Amino acid sequence: MDTSSGTVVRAEEFGTLADGAVVHRWTLERDGTRVRVLTYGGIVQSVEVPDRDGARAEVALGLPDPAGYEAFPGPYMGALVGRYANRIGGACFELDGRTHRLTRNEGRNHVHGGARGFDKRVWRAREVAEGVELSLVSEDGEEGFPGRLTVSAAYTLDKGGALRIAYRATTDAPTVLNLTNHTYWNLAGVGPATVAEAGTDAEAGTDAEAGGAGSGDALRQVLRIAAGRITPVDGESLPTGEFLPVDGTRFDFREPTTLGPGYDHNFVLDEPGAGPAAELYDPGSGRSLTVTTTEPGLQLYTADHFDGRPFGPCAGIALETQHFPDSPNRPGFPSTVLRPGEEFVSTTVYGFGVR
């Protein structure tokens, strides 16, 4: 339907999961931008925006039905990640003198919410002005996290077609929380993936046919990140606790720089909320993306380990707005503690344009 703001909002049944749960898809359209969001995992399945000639194309990696996301859960493709995005070392943390042990799903560590994080839940949905709001309740003890958490994420389109994701959460007991969106971007445009039913191919170790989706990469695009420091990591991709200046290193994206491979690092944003945290530009199509956030960090992930099922290496890049990895075990990092009576509020805006 048409809302008073000019955003077109439509909902449809999208398919079912292996357990029979029904997944719905919400389509938002405004000022040249078309976004599709799934109730499964809060997934941004599709983002279509025009190039400098007005030709609209897909710029987010996605799959055509729920079976695809169940067959390929590891990339967290387009998903809303929680309770804790990124890693918690040793899959445990101490809060108010009590040790909480979490699900280990990456070696000895916890990553992206555990075995059944928010990316694998079916969210409730309701239409709101300019878009859709997803919500769920995460019960006390899920994946080891304390507290009964009530969380929502509103996906809306601003004037000009910018995608805004506004997160809110409350808890009935002290807990830690770190939410992000895990969309992979390729502003050159990606072809339609056709591997949603290819779980058997993946299990057999053969390459599934991916149409145009697996061709090319995003490494010719130009990136700027407003960050003068990163949090360096060890061999388990856990932060060392230090802050490393980017001067003279391959992490210096303070001026527009052509991407290369080999990034899975948290950048410490200079002024969260004060301006674009990151800007991505594709010289071929002219498409540009700006990321503005209230979060203190941004994880740049170039997806080097994609193996062609369903996308090839570096087919898209993730720009994950977040608090820092392993913050519950790093008192020198911004706190991720949420207590009863407080409300977690976080907003990230993805703006699209052409040059």
> Residues 110, 182, 265, 323: which is the catalytic one?
182
Looking at the chain, the number of H-run helices and the number of E-run strands are 2, 28
Helix (H) or strand (E) holding 203: helix 199-204
Q: Is 182 a catalytic site residue?
A: yes
Cα–Cα distance list, 195 to 159, 192, 202, 211, 213 (Å): 34, 9, 10, 9, 10
Residues 70/303, Cβ–Cβ less than 8 Å? no
Contacts 24+ apart (CB under 8 A), 4-12: 4/129, 5/30, 5/129, 5/130, 5/159, 6/30, 6/31, 6/159, 7/130, 7/131, 7/156, 7/157, 9/127, 9/130, 9/131, 9/132, 11/125, 11/127, 11/132
Catalytic-labelled residue, pool 29, 110, 320, 323 = 320
- Kindly tell me the sign of the dihedral angle through the C-alpha atoms of 74, 298, 187, 353: positive
Q: In angstroms, rounded to a whole number, what is the distance separating the alpha carbons of residues 16 and 200?
A: 18
C-alpha span between 147 and 139 (Å, rounded): 7
Verify whether residue 110 is a known catalytic residue.
Answer: no
> Using CA atoms, how far apart are residues 25 and 15, in angstroms rounded to an integer?
9
Tokens of 213: 């989706």
Token pair 């490393």 is found at 244
Q: Which of 40, 59, 188, 56 is nearest to 120 (CA)?
A: 40
Q: Are 203 and 264 in contact (CB under 8 A)?
A: no
- What residues are labeled active site? 182, 320
